[in-house]
Amino acid sequence: MDLRIKSFEEYQAKYKQSVDQPEQFWSEVADHYQWQSPWGQVLDWNFKEPNVKWFLNAKLNITENCLDRHVETRGDQTAILWESNFPDRDNIRLSYTQLHAEVCRAANALKSMGVKKGDRICLYMPMIPELAISVLACARIGAIHSVVFAGFSAQALADRINDATCNVVITSDGLYRGAKQVGLKSIVDEALQQCDSIEHVLVKKCTGEDIGWSEGRDQWWDDIVPQQSATCAAEVMDSEDPLFILYTSGSTGKPKGVVHTCGGYMVYAGYSFANVFQYEEGDIYWCTADIGWITGHSYIIYGPLLNGATTMMFEGVPTWPDAGRFWQIVEKHKVNQFYTAPTAIRALMSCGNDVVTPYDLSSLKVLGTVGEPINQEAWDWYKQMIGKGTVPIVDTWWQTETGGIMISGLGGHSPQQATFAGYPLPGIQPCLVDTEGNEITENGVEGLLCMKFPWPSILRTTYGDHERCRITYFSHYNDMYFTGDGARRDENGMYRIIGRVDDVINVSGHRFGTAEIENAINESEYVVESAVVGYPHDIKGQGIYAYVIQEKAPDDLEAAKKEIIATVVKEIGPIAKPDKIQFVSGLPKTRSGKIMRRILRKVAEGEPDKLGDTSTLLDPSVVDEIVGGAV
């Protein structure tokens, strides 16, 4: 299937068509896929409830589009190319024929455990081929996968398992990540003490470490999967049946389970992959994300496989055994499209050019970035040092909720401007609104980024709580989807994403609600209250700055900090560790008891002279203490 737009003129024409006749546009795109039976209506929607349905009543299975179709035409081509954490270990190549067989075996194993269509399966796994196989095995039989990033703590894992009432967990004994080894199975065991719904735990051997075992509940992958039949009929799925749940943080409460459905997600993941990366037959494509995030779902697994691509999966980290690891892999596998995050680019940039220059990067055709705004310096380095000044950069803006890339260049076919994501993909109708929700139609302006019209992979609900979905995304501005981001649109209509305007912070491309981290900190027995804000961080984009009121004035500040950090690691995971902790005796609250975060942000940003009006504070004197004690 060739879905690719091949020039900017073609993009402009397609874009116009997609806005003038969206249903016709999307049904032409959807015709490129294999459906078991066709749709009637293309789209039914309102953003009030919200209720969005695409390709109504069509039947399909996404794995037939990711696998079976390619087995017939390119069975021997590598589907997944896996690179180990250890540079000297052999890589693994799974052809489309082999991947199809492995997915069917895993699907049959799940069936033998009693898994049925609609059941929720939690995947808490390393970046090994079995993770991709498990994702596809769930999809094969209509089970809903919920992948939890294997850096989350037992508590965070338990919360996600319970929210979705999963009945199976797939995990491994442990994982390797750079020089570290993490015992995943023991984290699962700890989590499951709080989870009643789990009946089976399927364990893939990875590190070979000793693990605990619960007879009757736990089974080795290698004992039950390999012996299964290599064929498994694909479950008939309705277009609007859920495909997966993926948890993400918002400005309030616990993380929400974003729900994506089979038909629309498939159409958009495949379409956006083909166009943004301009993948050509035979190319080697590499996205460095973890499958625990939406980027890995859409652009390691589904998008590439829908297009019959060779997609690389990397178990390790960019800086181990040294900071040349990414570039060494690019040279080794002659990677053509490379997709990573600004935080990785900045971290590698800070290691100097000597770790880049030894490697031949001439295979690169497209460089991608995702997850947070990319600063000018990082963009320039990526363009010059990695792209040698000639390789196009696609800065791809999107979200867990959008399912696929929304605003981005299309390979080299779009005008490029450093730090700008650029133009919306066909079918995507962004707009900027002011704080009252009035659309700002002129160019050369800043505003709140909304979407006026649905696209096929828009989230359908938040699992188990549709009202929360409505309130979070559809209640702020009339009849629009609100992204939570602020953006600038330049004179030419190109978009530049400024960042979150809500209480969400983005740390190394990982999304946290400030309330979520505060709740974790408050679990510490010595803490009375806390307030968390983001501040600019050279490598991570944003760092976490926590203001903490202790139970009693601490004697040993370092010990108190350690205890707070340990609590956050226990409640969420190491990725949410505060970078800075400042002990305070009070927080700047208004008379109505609301914390004035603006003040805390300014202090954390190192701009205490720009606090603005503090006259409405209940006790303005706390401000002096906070400014004086800034860390």
Query: Which residue, 299 or 453, is less far from ligand WT7 as judged by CB?
Result: 299
Taking the C-alpha atoms of residue 470 and residue 482, their distance in angstroms, rounded to an integer, is: 10
SS3 542: strand
Residue owning tokens 């501005």: 477
Angstrom CA distances, 306 to 358, 427, 513, 572, 620, stand at: 35, 19, 33, 33, 58
User: Order of strands, edge to edge, in the sheet holding 445-451?
Assistant: 439-440, 430-433, 445-451, 481-489, 495-500
| Rounded-to-10 torsion of CA 69, 74, 75, 79 | -90
> Closest approach of Cβ 341 to ligand WT7, in Å?
8
Taking the C-alpha atoms of residue 104 and residue 228, their distance in angstroms, rounded to an integer, is: 8
379 near ligand WT7, judged by CB under 6 A: no
Q: Please list every residue from 214 through 253 that binds ligand WT7, using CB under 6 A.
A: 248
Residue nearest to ligand WT7 (CB): 400
Residue from 373, 392, 447, 543 in contact with ligand WT7 (CB under 6 A): 373
397 near ligand WT7, judged by CB under 6 A: yes
Judged by CB under 6 A, the stretch of 309-317, 395-403, 518-526, 557-565 that binds ligand WT7 is 395-403
Residue from 400, 457, 514, 542 in contact with ligand WT7 (CB under 6 A): 400
> Closest approach of Cβ 119 to ligand WT7, in Å?
25
Query: Which residue, 173 or 485, is less far from ligand WT7 as judged by CB?
Result: 485
State the binding string over 409-448 for ligand WT7 (x if CB under 6 A, else -). ------------x---------------------------
272 near ligand WT7, judged by CB under 6 A: no
Residue from 324, 371, 427, 578 in contact with ligand WT7 (CB under 6 A): 371
Token pair for 41: 């209506």
> Closest approach of Cβ 338 to ligand WT7, in Å?
15
Angstrom CA distances, 274 to 4, 12, 277, 309, 399, stand at: 6, 17, 6, 10, 18
Q: Please list every residue from 484 through 543 that binds ligand WT7, using CB under 6 A.
A: 484-485, 497, 499-500, 506, 511
Taking the C-alpha atoms of residue 262 and residue 177, their distance in angstroms, rounded to an integer, is: 32
Judged by CB under 6 A, the stretch of 392-400, 463-471, 530-538, 577-585 that binds ligand WT7 is 392-400
Contact indicator for 55, 88 with CB cutoff of 8 Å: no
SS3 490: coil
Torsion-angle region of residue 513: left (phi > 0), alpha (psi -120 to 50) or beta? beta
> Closest approach of Cβ 606 to ligand WT7, in Å?
22
14 near ligand WT7, judged by CB under 6 A: no
Among 505, 509, 487, which residue's Cα sits nearest to residue 421? Answer: 487
Q: Please list every residue from 288 through 317 that binds ligand WT7, using CB under 6 A.
A: 293-295
Query: Which residue, 221 or 339, is less far from ligand WT7 as judged by CB?
Result: 339
483 near ligand WT7, judged by CB under 6 A: yes
Residues that bind ligand WT7 (CB under 6 A): 248, 293-295, 370-373, 395-400, 421, 483-485, 497, 499-500, 506, 511
